[in-house]
Structure formats: C-alpha cells, structure tokens
C-alpha cells in the first residue's frame, strides 16, 4: 500500500470537502464503508445555515447558536463558523451543488437562494435543495471527488484502529510517542486487513446514532472515529449531549424517517391527540423552540397521556400543491404510508439524531494526538455546546475541514515509511462460530441506551446502564482478541465503547443542561463546564 499525504476516514460533507481542498496540495486517500447512499450527510433534509439576507446579521446567528447551546458553546469557535458561512455556500456551489433559488421578491433584495427557517433561529437563513439538501450536496461532492486525479477512494472498507508508535517494528522509535501515522482497516470484499499510512489523518466518521434503539442515523453511524481516537489516547468531550430530534415519522415496524424541522419553520404546529398546541406556554418560539426543549415536551406528553406519539399539523400550511413543492420527498414518504399531510396530521416521535460531543479538538480541528484531526459529528469543537442549533452541522463540516487543512499545511508533516511498522497480525485468530451473538449484544446495548440514557435520565438509570454495559464490554473485548475480524464485531466494539463514554460523561454531570436532563439534578448550575474523558 502506498503512503499518502492525507488519509481521510469517512465520506460525508466533512471528509469529501477536505479531500477536494487537500488534493491541491498532495495525494489523498478516502476510506469509506459506503460512498453514495450512506451517512448523515445524505440523509440531511433541512439544509445548511448561513447569513445571506441583508436583514439578518452574523451576530444574530451567533446569538441563536449560543442560546441553543445552553451556555456551553465556545464563542470564538461559533464566530468562526458563522463568519465563514457564506464562503462555505460558495464553495459548495463551485463543487456543483444546486440549491433552491430565491423567489423574485427575494432576488430583488439581493438574496440568491430560498431561505427557510428552523427551530431556534431568529431569521430565515437555511439554504436548501427543497427537502433533500444532503442528497444534493453528497451528489455534487462525489462527482467532484471522482474527477480529481489526486484523490483515491476505497469503498467497502472499515477502519479498525489508528496506527501509532505501539505499532513500530522492534528497534524503531519516534521522538513523538503521541503521533498518529494512519489507520489499519478491513477490506470487506477481500477479507484482508491493510495498513494505510498518511502524513496527516482526518477522522470524519460521523456520530453514534446506532447506539440507540430509535435513531434517524444511517446504519453506518457506529462511532468508529470516536472510539478509535479514544483507544489511541485522544480525549473525548461532552459525550453526554446526544440530541434527540423531536420529529421522526411514527411508523412501527419500518425504518425511522426524519420529518424535517423545516416543516415547523413553514408553519407546522405540534399537537397532542386532543388537538392542543403542544408547545404553547412552553417556550416563546412555540413549535420552533430549540430541539432539546421540544423533544422533552413531546416525551412528557407521551408519558402523561400514554399515547405512542404526538402529531405535526401541516393542514393550514398552503395546501397540497405548496407542500409538494417545498417538501416533495417528505410528502411522498408520508403518503406512501397513508398520511396526506395536506389533510391529515403527521404522527411523530423523537429519535436519537446528533452527537454534540465527540473527539476533543481545537479551533483548527486538531486532536491532542499529533497529526490526527477530526471534523464533523465525530468532533467536539465547542460549536454546538449542550444542544446543536438546527442546520449548523453541515456548515460545521465545510468550515472546519478547511481549518484542519490550514493547520496541516502549516505544520507540514512528512509521509511515514512503511518499513517502520508492523503489518496486522491475524494468523493467531480463529473465525467466530456464530455471528448472531453480535446482533444480540447490539440489541441489548441499543435497548439499554434508549430506556436508561435517553431524553430524561436519572442516577438510578445511569448506574444500571453502566452495569449492563460493563458486562457486554468484557464479552466484546474477549471476542475481539480471540476471533478474526468481522464487520459486525468491529462496529460493535466501537459502539460499546461509545455507549460507555456517553454514560460515564452523563454520570459526571450533576445538573440539567441542554440535551442532558437528569431528574435528580433538575437545575442548571451557574457555571458551565465541559466533560472531558481521557484514557487511563
């Protein structure tokens, strides 16, 4: 295997935007489980937040982000994100993304694109491609990456662990024992473990949604980058803040489907079965309140009433023609399962959606390990604080991939030599006899996290979850060191560790703030602090 200037793990908006920029400066390798129809970028419906309206302002976007983050955002990083928003939109357009154009009235005010509004935003600033923004961005980035000769894409590959100093051959040393040199990865089709070396390694592996029984995330969202970085010695931060999206389509027996916040920005109203407006009196923004507040209100209503869902009422939002024009994919999906959103309320429930914490990084996405960077949902920049503001996530991926590249070019790391490292030793491992055991363990983890570490938590629930996960973790570790590599085992090992990190972080936070609500500590402490975990 060749050595590269940049090794990128993950192929969403963060990984591919980095690859396109980095390709101007060297050879790039992108490792991915699936390239086109997988990951959170592809599934993103609402859009990407950016101040493009002359009546809006960067400071208002900053303040909206800080308010949603419940006192835990790092203001200087938020200001960087917001200031670079218009440039990020221009970059995406240059790479081939097509966004929904503004009306004649909007264009007359100098606004190039139709701007939607979502929860927590004081202005309409969501650039979108109808209700399939992520799909359009992913399409454009993939086409641009395929046309760049400096980028090599390897699909159907699962990263296992980072290559560090402990993988040197006997007698080899390095002046920096905390450096990262690339990744070991499983080529699934060839059933072969390979070593991919790079001067700089970028983790863009997304979140950990699959650790919960109900999630809007794709099946590939198994926390791989977070787990690999932590095992290698990097710190993680604020892992207790899992965002539960308030509105996924309630459709038992079928995969979870997100009902975009843009529907509420279009005038949709959350109601209980009796027809009462659920958010009236709960928050001044009513159905457009920040996600943590809306999700908790829905959870409380479902527990109070015993109903399995609440409802999103779009019947007074312009009729079928308008809804089909603005939300064609969501309209078709609902209609497919018997709900005409122009005439009927949409049944909705919360689902695990976005990890606001992750690998601890600085303002240039650098981790505490040399030459290792993390961007997107796998990283904790401090942008989101205790609760992410809607549609800041796609923006984060574009902005901080650029910041990461700038730091790498400043430090100018050298390509590592393959001669110094051991190949992966798998000769001693035997094939597992029954892979069904991994499915059973995964079901247990997801059920435990949903019931004990969900929207509303308690010390008792968190303690019980820790006990369950401790037993499962020992079993998974035993299997990992006994059996040959299976994709399910690799992902399960990562999910188990991420679940433990979420629980450990949640147990440390003796307050309720943003997405973390503990009935034993219902008040928010006057001083905000981050939860940082480092390997012992």
Out of 320, 350, 380, a domain closes at 350
Higher pLDDT pick, 44 / 222: 222
Compute the Cα dihedral for 93, 42, 3, 494 and give only its sign.
Answer: positive
pLDDT digits (tens, 9 = 90+) for 33-76: 987 766 788 888 889 999 999 999 999 999 999 999 999 999 99
Strands (E), 376-505: 379-380
DSSP code string of 36-100: SS-SHHHH--S-EE----TTS-HHHHHHHHHHHTTT-S-HHHHHHHHHTHHHHHHHHHHTT--PP
Reported as a pLDDT band with limits 50, 70 and 90, residue 178 is very high
What's the confidence (pLDDT) of residue 428? Answer: 57
For residues 448, 454, 459 and 465, what is the CA-based torsion angle, rounded to 10 degrees?
A: 20
Residue found by looking up tokens 């429930």 in the block: 349
Find the range with the poorest average confidence among 70-84, 391-405, 408-422. Answer: 408-422
Q: Which H or E run contains 343? A: none
Reported as a pLDDT band with limits 50, 70 and 90, residue 426 is low
Is 270 inside any structural domain? yes
What's the confidence (pLDDT) of residue 38? Answer: 66
Is 310 inside any structural domain? yes
Reported as a pLDDT band with limits 50, 70 and 90, residue 427 is low
Residue 361 phi/psi, 5° resolution?
-135, 165
- Residue 523 predicted with pLDDT over 70: yes
Q: What percent of the chain has pLDDT over 70?
A: 99
- Residue 107 predicted with pLDDT over 60: yes
Q: Which H or E run contains 187? A: strand 180-187
Please count the residues of the chain.
Answer: 536
Higher pLDDT pick, 449 / 1: 449
Spatial distance between the Cα atoms of 70 and 384, rounded to a whole number of angstroms: 9
Is 139 inside any structural domain? no
The alpha carbon of residue 462 and the mean position of all alpha carbons in its chain are separated, in whole angstroms, by 23
Find the range with the poorest average confidence among 248-252, 401-405, 443-447, 475-479. Answer: 475-479
Reported as a pLDDT band with limits 50, 70 and 90, residue 96 is very high
- Measured from the Cβ of residue 488, the count of other Cβ atoms closer than 10 Å reads 17
Write the CATH number for 308: 3.90.700.10
- Residue 170 predicted with pLDDT over 90: no
Q: What is the mean pLDDT of the chain?
A: 94
Spatial distance between the Cα atoms of 461 and 55, rounded to a whole number of angstroms: 47
Is 173 inside any structural domain? no
Reported as a pLDDT band with limits 50, 70 and 90, residue 1 is low
Spatial distance between the Cα atoms of 246 and 252, rounded to a whole number of angstroms: 16
Which 3-state string (H, E, C) describes 97-118?
CCCCECCHHHHHCCCCECEECC
pLDDT digits (tens, 9 = 90+) for 259-291: 998 899 999 999 999 999 999 999 999 999 988
Domain count, the chain: 2
Is 385 inside any structural domain? no
Would you say 226 and 501 are in contact if contact means Cβ atoms under 8 Å apart? yes
- Residue 247 predicted with pLDDT over 90: yes
What's the confidence (pLDDT) of residue 173? Answer: 79
| Rounded average pLDDT over 237-252 | 95
| Rounded average pLDDT over 457-476 | 96
Would you say 155 and 35 are in contact if contact means Cβ atoms under 8 Å apart? yes
Reported as a pLDDT band with limits 50, 70 and 90, residue 435 is confident
| Rounded average pLDDT over 131-157 | 95
Is 13 inside any structural domain? no
Spatial distance between the Cα atoms of 42 and 419, rounded to a whole number of angstroms: 38
Spatial distance between the Cα atoms of 318 and 197, rounded to a whole number of angstroms: 55
What's the confidence (pLDDT) of residue 429? Answer: 66
Out of 327, 350, 373, a domain closes at 350
What's the confidence (pLDDT) of residue 474? Answer: 94
pLDDT digits (tens, 9 = 90+) for 499-509: 999 999 999 99
Write the CATH number for 462: 1.20.58.100
Is 198 inside any structural domain? no
CA distances from 386 to 68, 292, 376, 382 (A): 8, 9, 16, 9
Residue 471 phi/psi, 5° resolution?
-65, -45
DSSP state, residue 428:
T
Is 321 inside any structural domain? yes
- Residue 311 predicted with pLDDT over 90: yes
> Annotated catalytic residue: which of 291, 507, 509, 513?
291
Reported as a pLDDT band with limits 50, 70 and 90, residue 174 is confident
Out of 291, 325, 350, a domain closes at 350
Q: Please confirm, yes or no, whether 291 is among the known catalytic residues.
A: yes
| Rounded average pLDDT over 206-225 | 94
* Residue 254: domain span: 250-350
């Amino acid at each position: 295997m060749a050595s590269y200037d940049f090794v990128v793990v993950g192929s969403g908006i963060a990984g591919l935007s980095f690859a396109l920029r980095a390709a101007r400066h060297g050879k790039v390798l992108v490792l991915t489980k699936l390239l086109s129809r997988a990951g959170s970028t592809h599934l993103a419906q609402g859009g990407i937040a950016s101040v493009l309206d002359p009546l809006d302002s960067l400071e208002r976007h900053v303040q909206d982000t800080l308010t949603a983050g419940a006192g835990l955002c790092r203001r200087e990083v938020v200001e960087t994100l917001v200031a670079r928003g218009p440039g990020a939109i221009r970059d995406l357009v240059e790479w081939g993304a097509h966004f929904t154009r503004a009306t004649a009235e909007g264009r007359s005010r100098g606004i190039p694109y139709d701007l939607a509004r979502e929860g927590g935003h004081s202005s309409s600033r969501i650039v979108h491609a109808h209700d399939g923004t992520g799909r359009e961005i992913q399409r454009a980035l993939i086409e641009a990456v395929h046309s760049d000769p400096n980028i090599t894409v390897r699909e159907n590959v699962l990263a296992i662990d980072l290559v560090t100093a402990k993988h040197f051959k006997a007698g080899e040393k390095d002046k920096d024992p905390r450096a990262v040199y690339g990744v070991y990865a499983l080529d699934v089709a060839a059933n072969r473990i390979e070593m991919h070396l790079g001067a700089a390694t970028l983790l863009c592996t997304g979140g950990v949604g699959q650790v919960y029984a109900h999630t809007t995330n794709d099946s590939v969202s198994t926390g791989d980058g977070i787990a690999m970085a932590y095992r290698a010695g990097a710190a993680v931060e604020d892992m207790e803040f899992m965002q539960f999206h308030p509105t996924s389509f309630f459709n038992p027996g079928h995969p979870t489907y997100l009902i975009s916040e843009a529907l509420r920005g279009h005038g949709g109203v959350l109601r209980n079965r009796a027809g009462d407006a659920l958010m009236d009196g709960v928050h001044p923004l009513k159905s457009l309140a920040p996600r943590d507040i809306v999700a908790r209100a829905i959870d409380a209503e479902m527990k109070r009433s015993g109903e399995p869902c609440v409802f999103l009422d779009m019947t007074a939002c312009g009729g079928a023609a308008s809804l089909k024009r603005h939300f064609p994919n969501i309209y078709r999906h609902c209609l497919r399962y018997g709900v005409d959103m122009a005439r009927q309320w949409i049944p909705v429930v919360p689902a695990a959606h976005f990890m606001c914490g992750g690998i601890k990084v600085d303002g240039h996405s650098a981790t505490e390990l040399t030459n290792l960077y993390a961007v997107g949902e796998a990283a904790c920049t401090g942008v989101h604080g205790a609760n992410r503001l809607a549609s800041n996530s796609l923006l984060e991926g574009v902005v901080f991939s650029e910041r990461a590249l700038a730091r790498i070019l400043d430090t100018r790391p050298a390509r590592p030599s393959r001669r110094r490292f051991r190949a992966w030793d798998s000769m001693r491992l035997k094939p597992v006899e029954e892979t069904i055991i991994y499915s059973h363990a995964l079901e247990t983890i997801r059920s435990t996290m949903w019931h004990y570490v969900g929207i509303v938590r308690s010390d008792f629930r968190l303690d019980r979850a820790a006990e369950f996960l401790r037993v499962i973790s020992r079993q998974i570790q035993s299997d990992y060191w006994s059996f040959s590599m299976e994709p399910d085992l690799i992902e399960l090992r990562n999910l188990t560790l991420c679940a433990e990190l979420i629980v450990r972080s949640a147990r440390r936070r003796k307050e309720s703030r943003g997405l973390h609500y503990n009935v034993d500590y219902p008040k928010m402490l006057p001083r905000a602090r981050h939860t940082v975990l480092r390997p012992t």
